[in-house]
């Protein structure tokens, strides 16, 4: 019993001693810091983010350009009162916009073309189909829609920042905040440049097939040599 009493006394003494040597105004040695929460993304998310980043950096300038053109078009059309003259104005403006985009669209991969049309909707509030319908009429828009399907494109596609385009929206926000380096300069593609790019693309495909064929041949020869080496004498 005395042993336990002694331990309790020593504990109380240590506690009171500690209170005596620490001044009442002594700051707490454990400080609290507040910081901005850092989001953690999965590997799959970042793979998709990087893929979309490559595509968006390439096609986003054209979506911004389309938005600027349509905004200016609407401003200019307000000064035209006659319906017939306005229709003619829309027709000429649409032709100019189509000429600017024709070979750009043809020069894009399917995934890039799809993203461009989504971004056009994001920036203008209209799908590519709605733009064609407004400035060229429903008949022309229907034909345009049919042509789009031939090239595996949906001209009625829209941008959904809270759904399937959430990661793409993340990329755009990072562009707008300066996290991702971005040049909004529009590079026009005319008929000659388009043909040149197509020739270069076909050449790459041909070289890739040739290389794959060569690699298969080498791999087959190595397997054959290995089999002969291990073959019992």
Q: What is the pLDDT of residues 65-99, one digit of tens each?
A: 889 888 888 888 887 877 777 778 777 777 777 67
Q: What is the DSSP letter of 37?
A: P
- pTM for this structure? 0.65
Q: Of how many residues is the chain composed?
A: 233
What pLDDT, in 10s, does the model give residues 157-208? 999 999 999 999 999 999 999 999 999 888 776 666 656 766 776 777 777 7
d(CA 114, CA 59): 10
| Both tokens assigned to 159 | 């941008």
Distance CA 24, CA 26 (A): 6
100-157 pLDDT, tens digit per residue, is 666 677 778 889 989 999 999 999 999 989 988 888 888 888 887 887 777 778 889 9
Count of beta carbons in the 10 Å neighbourhood of residue 139: 9
pLDDT in tens, 14-58: 444 444 444 555 555 556 666 667 678 899 999 999 999 999 999
Contacts by 16-19, CB closer than 8 A, 24 or more apart = none
């Amino acid at each position: 019993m005395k042993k336990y009493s002694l331990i309790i006394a020593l504990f109380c003494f240590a506690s009171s001693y500690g209170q005596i040597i620490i001044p009442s105004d002594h700051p707490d040695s454990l400080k609290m810091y507040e910081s901005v929460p850092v989001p953690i993304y999965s590997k799959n998310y970042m793979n998709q983010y990087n893929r979309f980043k490559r595509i968006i950096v390439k096609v986003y300038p054209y979506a911004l350009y389309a938005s600027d053109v349509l905004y200016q078009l609407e401003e200019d059309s307000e000064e035209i009162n006659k319906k017939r003259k306005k229709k003619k104005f829309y027709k000429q403006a649409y032709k100019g916009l189509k000429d600017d985009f024709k070979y750009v669209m043809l020069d894009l991969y399917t995934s890039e073309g799809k993203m461009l049309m989504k971004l056009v909707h994001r920036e203008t509030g209209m799908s590519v189909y709605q733009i064609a319908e407004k400035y060229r009429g429903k008949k022309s828009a229907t034909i345009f829609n049919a042509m789009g399907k031939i090239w595996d494109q949906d001209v009625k596609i829209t941008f959904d920042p809270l759904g399937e385009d959430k990661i793409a929206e993340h990329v755009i926000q990072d562009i707008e905040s300066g996290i991702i380096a971005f040049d909004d300069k529009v590079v026009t593609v005319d008929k000659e440049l388009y043909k040149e790019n197509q020739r270069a693309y076909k050449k790459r495909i041909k070289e890739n097939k040739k290389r794959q064929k060569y690699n298969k041949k080498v791999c087959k020869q190595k397997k054959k040599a290995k089999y002969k080496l291990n073959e019992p004498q």
